[in-house]
Amino acid sequence: MASKWDAFVVAGRGVRCVSDQPWITAAETCELVIALDAIGLHDRARDLFAWVQFLRHDDGSYWTGMNFADDRFDTWGDYFTAEQPTWNSAAVVLAANALGGSGPTAGLFRGEGLPAGLTAQELIEAGAEIEAGRSAREQR
């Protein structure tokens, strides 16, 4: 993460969707917020989360992102794309919950409450069992 930080993270704005383009996106920023929180970099995660709030729409949803022509991140750019998709806002909700939630999913990305000590083979077998049960229900 540290080696690519400056390529993707724009201080005060958030995370570029593509390293060589001037697009800051809410979902990618919040994905990094979750990752930073998961590895214990809580202050950095909170900073990024605060920065991306400029993409919040008046109705509480989040714009997909903003394009800053000529890398002029100190000025207001153009919404890119000019929509507020639900999946985008869902990334914000997941990040907010990881940072400040108290329910069982708040620590999900930190691995809290997940089974520990399962081998790869045990995980594969459990997945196969779940899929077999799902197939049996669908055939009914």
User: What number is the average pLDDT over the span 2-16?
Assistant: 95
Q: Are 24 and 16 in contact (CB under 8 A)?
A: yes
Question: Does the pLDDT of residue 122 top 90, yes or no?
Answer: no
Predicted confidence at residue 20, as pLDDT, reads 93
Predicted confidence at residue 102, as pLDDT, reads 84
β-pair type (23-25, 9-10):
unpaired
Nearest alpha carbon to residue 10 among 62, 48, 53: 48
Predicted confidence at residue 33, as pLDDT, reads 97
Predicted confidence at residue 38, as pLDDT, reads 92
d(CA 117, CA 37): 22
What is the separation of C-alpha 109 from the centre of its chain, rounded to a whole number of angstroms?
A: 10
User: What number is the average pLDDT over the span 107-135?
Assistant: 84
Please tell me the least confidently modeled range out of 56-65, 69-78, 96-105: 96-105
Sign (positive or negative) of CA dihedral 55, 58, 61, 67: negative
Query: Which tokens hold the place of 17?
Result: 């969707």
